[in-house]
């Protein structure tokens, strides 16, 4: 909130939505700004028509988000999003007028939209914690949830979680990292290599977790370095989806280290229509595909084993 100008801050507070429920702040120049928030597991959006913003207003907010060093995030602005170093886990999407030469983006000339995504920690505990561990271990499931087994060996299976945007995939991965790797809650925590290109997964609140972070690496290179030099028990990465990433993952998965990842899709059918996921599916990279749902109590899952 401290990155907002006073008029923006006043309007956001005037909406009356508790800060801990807000998941996105969407600021727009010339059109209607809005808040996205979680209401008992349901995503809701509240327009703020009274908030009239100019491109200069958004430039001011962007400068504050970047701690005055917008040029330090030029690469992120070219791809459309970045994570401010001083705001652990926050993702900022930026859109506007892009200068392109020969079809290649060179510079974001003006900013007309900012989408500020706020991270939230969701702690799975008790029976839900056991169910999540059972799911990641590839144990049998019922129609609604995995069936935990106290005798199961602490081994993980490669799992892909998929859901449409805004359902909490990144939040779930943060939760999984806490569940698997926290020295406070696990007697023998897993050693994980986290491919954190967006720098959203392991920021504030993860100092007790046994993880090695790889930020800004191409996925394949990060996985190769992790497996050769850090001997992880599990690889974790967010939002895979390109053909080049599929190729990198196929090369890296020859090492045999289980991979937990997320992807955008509404159904298994939609997921497999994309060539990169069809290729990963045909090569048996993931043992289990899990459709993620956000509920008032946290998350629910629909599990499918790979054929």
Same domain, 113 and 130: no
Specify whether the CB–CB gap between 61 and 27 falls below 8 A. Answer: yes
**pLDDT at position 26:** 94
Is the residue at 170 inside a domain?
A: yes
Cα–Cα distance for residue pair 265/244, rounded to 1 Å? 18
Query: Could you give the C-alpha distances from 169 to 65, 116, 163, in angstroms and in order?
Result: 24, 16, 7
Q: How many residues does the chain have?
A: 307
Highest mean pLDDT among 71-80, 182-191, 269-278: 269-278
Same domain, 78 and 198: no
The answer to whether residue 124 scores a pLDDT higher than 70 is no
Residue with tokens 């900022």: 92
Same domain, 22 and 145: no
Average pLDDT over every residue of 7-35: 92
CATH, residue 111: 3.30.450
Is the residue at 175 inside a domain?
A: yes
**pLDDT at position 127:** 47
Same domain, 225 and 251: yes
Q: How do residues 34-49 score in pLDDT, each as one tens digit?
A: 999 888 777 888 999 9
**pLDDT at position 307:** 52
CATH, residue 274: 3.40.50.300
Chain centroid to Cα 50, Å, comes to 31
Same domain, 148 and 165: yes
Domain that holds residue 82: 6-117
Highest mean pLDDT among 21-30, 121-130, 199-208: 21-30
Average pLDDT over every residue of 15-34: 92
Instruction: Provide the number of structural domains found in the chain.
Output: 2
Same domain, 147 and 250: yes
Is the residue at 273 inside a domain?
A: yes
Same domain, 163 and 222: yes
User: Of all residues in the chain, what percent are helix, strand and coil, respectively (each to 5)?
Assistant: 30, 30, 40
Q: Are strands 298-305 and 288-295 parallel, antiparallel or unpaired?
A: antiparallel
Same domain, 62 and 135: no
Highest mean pLDDT among 39-43, 244-248, 289-293: 289-293
Chain centroid to Cα 21, Å, comes to 17
Helix (H, G, I), strand (E, B) or coil at 210: coil
Cα–Cα distance for residue pair 240/162, rounded to 1 Å? 10
Same domain, 141 and 279: yes
Is the residue at 1 inside a domain?
A: no
Q: How do residues 188-225 score in pLDDT, each as one tens digit?
A: 788 999 998 777 888 777 888 899 998 878 888 888 88
Same domain, 250 and 183: yes
The C-alpha R_g of the chain, in whole angstroms, comes to 20
Same domain, 139 and 64: no
Instruction: Please list the residues that pair with 194 across neighbouring strands.
Output: 213, 236
Average pLDDT over every residue of 41-65: 91
* 0.95 surpassed by pTM: no
Domain end call among 92, 117, 142: 117
Same domain, 189 and 270: yes
**pLDDT at position 128:** 52
Domain end call among 87, 117, 147: 117
Domain end call among 117, 149, 178: 117
Q: Which residues fall within 8 angstroms of residue 121, CB to CB, at 6 or more apart?
A: 171, 174, 175, 178, 205
């Amino acid at each position: 909130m401290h990155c907002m100008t006073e008029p923006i801050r006043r309007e956001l507070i005037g909406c009356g939505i508790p800060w801990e429920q807000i998941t996105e702040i969407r600021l727009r120049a010339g059109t209607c700004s809005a808040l996205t928030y979680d209401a008992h597991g349901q995503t809701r959006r509240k327009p703020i028509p009274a908030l009239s913003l100019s491109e200069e207003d958004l430039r001011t907010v962007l400068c504050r988000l970047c701690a005055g060093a917008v040029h330090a995030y030029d690469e992120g602005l070219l791809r459309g999003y970045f994570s401010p170093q001083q705001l652990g886990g926050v993702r900022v999407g930026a859109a506007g007028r892009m200068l392109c030469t020969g079809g290649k983006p060179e510079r974001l000339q003006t900013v007309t939209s900012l989408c500020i995504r706020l991270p939230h920690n969701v702690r799975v505990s008790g029976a839900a914690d056991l169910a999540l561990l059972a799911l990641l271990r590839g144990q049998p499931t019922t129609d609604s949830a995995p069936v935990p087994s106290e005798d199961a060996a602490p081994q993980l299976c490669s799992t892909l979680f998929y859901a449409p945007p805004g359902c909490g995939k990144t939040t779930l991965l943060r939760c999984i990292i806490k569940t698997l790797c926290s020295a406070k809650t696990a007697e023998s925590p897993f050693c994980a290599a986290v491919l954190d290109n967006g720098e959203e997964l392991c920021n504030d609140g993860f100092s007790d977790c046994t993880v090695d972070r790889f930020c800004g690496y191409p996925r394949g290179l990060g996985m190769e370095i992790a497996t050769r030099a850090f001997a992880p028990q599990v690889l974790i990465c967010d939002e895979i989806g390109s053909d080049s990433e599929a190729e990198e993952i196929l090369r890296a998965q020859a090492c045999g280290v289980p991979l937990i990842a997320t992807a955008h899709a509404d159904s298994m059918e939609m997921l497999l229509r994309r060539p990169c996921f069809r290729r990963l599916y045909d090569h048996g990279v993931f043992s289990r595909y899990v459709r993620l749902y956000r509920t008032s109590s946290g998350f629910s899952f629909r599990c499918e084993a790979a054929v």
